[in-house]
Amino acid sequence: MSGPVLEFDKPIGILGGGQLGRMLGLAALNLGLRCRFMDQSDDAVAAHVGALHVDDFDRPQRLDDFVRGLSVASYEFENVPVALASKVAERVPLYPGVLALQTAQDRLSEKTLFRKLGIATPEFRAANSLAELREAVATIGTPCVVKTRRMGYDGKGQAVLRSIADVDTAWVSLQGESSILGGASGNGPAPLIVEAFVAFDTEVSVIAARSTTGQIVFYPLTENLHQGGILRISRSPAIHPAVTPAIEQLAMEASRATLEALEYVGVLAIEFFVCNGRLLANEMAPRVHNSGHWTMNAGITSQFENHLRAITGMPLGNTRLLPSCSAGMVNLIGASPAFEQILALPGCHLNWYGKSPRPGRKVGHVNVLEVSAAQREATLAKLVSLIAS
């Protein structure tokens, strides 16, 4: 596989202008590159680091202006309309490709791909009507998790069912939530997926990058803690005893199979449950990922730099942690903390996105670098306590 000839004088187009786009833009500047962003909001934070084109994703009016002169294009969130991505791909190379975007946007397609590749997942069934939901829940058993097949994120668009009596309430709730999130077509009820509830030991993610040249690299496995469906803390290396070298190897093999099946280019994240010595794939994100933010300060090459290297055909960078380093990441959710108190903690690196705080919104993160896992845990505990106070 050969990639595009890198043209430093031409910008890289990014669909989406949120914090991930902002961090891609920062990494681009360090490589002597520049990004051009397309977003529906005129206050998108990626405008801090590159030109912003404001347009409607569903009915773009100035798409030709956005793609004109680009060397390559990408996207920073997985809910970019496939129709928009396809139009961009007709005009300029787009990585990851449309197939990866389509697959990740539908939880049923995602799980089906994993199964096809021999990657274990929780049991699942599709449900396109209330009757099918009742049947699927009866087949899977309770407790189980019911999710909208499209548009859910950060815990939105899903419900845990403790008994069959919860089915009707979940159906009404998720249909309404799907309409708010944009996952309903307007031609009928929003399709759902029922998944077996997993009493996992811990959650992990593997972040990998594949270049236009076919080169593949993996970051060390990251252990994650979610609360309310939102990622709160990440650690690399992991500390849970269930995260063994064999589990890490399985995660990398699953990632490699997915990258190659999709002819994927760019950074890909796959989230897994670790349960009784098994690794179960939960979902994938065809983009740079929150659980890889620690790579900005603790990795030899950040995930953002490697994404840019991948889509422009440059050699991929070293994915190891810095020598004698144990890394952590804490998300800042909904409120602005006392910056000076965070910065007073040794080993802490603040990354603020420039967003207006509101409940449930990711407004920044803090990366923690320490010389040992024990010291990292001590610093993480101080940081979490400080943010909560």
Q: List, for residues 331-371, the tens digit of each pLDDT value.
A: 999 988 889 999 999 999 999 999 999 998 999 999 999 99
Under 8 Å between Cβ of 334 and 357: yes
N- to C-terminal Cα distance for the chain?
A: 52
What is the third-level CATH fold of 123-196? Dna Ligase; domain 1 (3.30.1490)
Under 8 Å between Cβ of 33 and 12: yes
Q: Where are the alpha helices (DSSP H) in 158-281?
A: 167-181, 245-261
CB-count exposure of residue 126 (10 Å: 0-12, 13-18, 19+): middle
CA distance linking residue 152 with residue 285, whole number of Å: 12
Under 8 Å between Cβ of 366 and 383: yes
CB half-sphere exposure, 14, CA atoms < 13 A: 34
CA distance linking residue 111 with residue 62, whole number of Å: 36
Query: What pLDDT, on the 0 to 100 scale, is given for residue 177?
Result: 73
Q: Which CATH superfamily is domain 202-388 in?
A: ATP-grasp fold, B domain (3.30.470.20)
Domain borders along the chain are 12-94, 123-196, 202-388
The reply to whether domains 123-196 and 202-388 share a CATH topology is: no
Q: Can you list the residues of the chain whose pLDDT is less than 50?
A: 4
Query: What pLDDT, on the 0 to 100 scale, is given for residue 246?
Result: 97
Which tokens belong to 177?
């939530």
What residue type is assigned to position 173 of the chain?
A: S
What residue type is assigned to position 160 of the chain?
A: V
CA distance linking residue 154 with residue 360, whole number of Å: 9
What is the third-level CATH fold of 12-94? Rossmann fold (3.40.50)
